[in-house]
Amino acid sequence: MISISFNGIDPLFMYTQLLKETFLEINDDDTKSIKEFVDYCRLQGDITENHIDKIEKDYRLHTPIWWYTGPYFIYSMVNRGLRLMDVDIILKMGFFIRHLHQHIENLHREQQSTDTTSGTPFQVFRGQSLSIENFEKMKQTKGGLMSFNNFLSTSRDRNFSLEIFARPAALIDSSSVGILFVMVIDPMLCETSSTPFADVQQESFFEDQEQEILFSTHTIFRIDQIEHIHDDHTNRLWQVDLTLT
């Protein structure tokens, strides 16, 4: 479950934004950082040695998005660190977080400059579970701002997001609700946004399997509307309409 914070309610909202700005601006020695990272991974005891070896030897042979979407531990470790605000993980993976952000940023510029429809608003979708506590915070923040504190994977396919993620989330855990986020992206307004996004179908490890749009970390949206989705099997399924700020 991806971490979310709400402006005006969560003290973490501003803190996470400042943290993002800080670690994205750090310049360090990538070779040294990769070595320190793999050494750290070997000390954890729960990471496959073959995966660590592959990153150590082949990191520069693939793009950050390829590594992030691949069947390795990178995805889970990055998002665990950002979700829990685990400073140790964030510092050890700082080089990768920067590389991934920069890769998304570069793709964003390329796609905006070559796509003739890039100025047209469009929708993307994300299904996930949300604790009842956070759902109540979201309702209190309606009309205000919320932040996804991880790199944010979304899809252009509404049905995929609803059926594979949102609806199962509503059925599994009585202490949470299933949320279908419907996000309106206006590229013209996003020119001033500090959070880039990119279509990663051609860059992903699983090429072309999903119509995925990946946003950089700590993306901020405005909460426009919260509506119940009728479902014959659960009353804990909701649609939340967001606009990228």
User: Is the distance from CB of 146 to CB of 223 less than 8 angstroms?
Assistant: yes
**Domain count within the chain:** 1
Distance CA 145, CA 190 (A): 15
Contacts of 65 (CB under 8 A, 6+ apart): 100, 103, 104, 107, 200, 203, 204, 214
Distance CA 228, CA 28 (A): 47
- Would you write out the chain's pLDDT as a tens digit for each of its 245 residues? 556 667 665 666 666 666 666 666 667 678 899 999 999 999 998 899 999 999 999 999 999 999 999 999 999 999 899 888 888 998 899 899 999 999 999 999 898 888 656 678 899 999 999 999 999 999 998 899 888 888 999 999 999 999 999 999 999 989 999 999 999 998 777 666 667 899 998 898 887 666 899 999 888 899 999 999 999 999 999 999 999 98
Distance CA 58, CA 70 (A): 13
CATH number at residue 75: 3.90.176.10
Distance CA 66, CA 77 (A): 15
Percent of the chain with pLDDT over 90: 60
Q: Token pair of 60, please?
A: 């520069």
User: Is the distance from CB of 159 to CB of 15 less than 8 angstroms?
Assistant: no
Nearest to 217 by CA among 3, 12, 33, 10: 3
The secondary element (H helix, E strand) that includes residue 223 is strand 219-228
For 111, the domain range is 1-245
pLDDT computed for residue 220 by the predictor:
87
Contacts of 82 (CB under 8 A, 6+ apart): 3, 90, 97, 149, 150, 151, 217
Torsion-angle region of residue 219: left (phi > 0), alpha (psi -120 to 50) or beta?
beta
State the amino acid at position 175 in one-letter form.
S
> pTM to 2 decimals?
0.87
Distance CA 141, CA 8 (A): 8
DSSP 83-135: HHT-HHHHHHTHHHHHHHHHHHHHHHHHHHHH-TTTTS-EEEEEEEEEEHHHH
Q: Token pair of 125, please?
A: 């979708």
In this structure, the dihedral spanned by the alpha carbons of residues 55, 61, 63 and 68, taken in order and rounded to 10 degrees, is -20
Q: Determine how many CB atoms are found less than 10 A away from the CB of residue 176.
A: 19
Give, in order, the Cα–Cα distances in Å from 121 to each of 22, 180, 188, 218, 242: 31, 19, 8, 21, 13
Q: Token pair of 129, please?
A: 């579970």
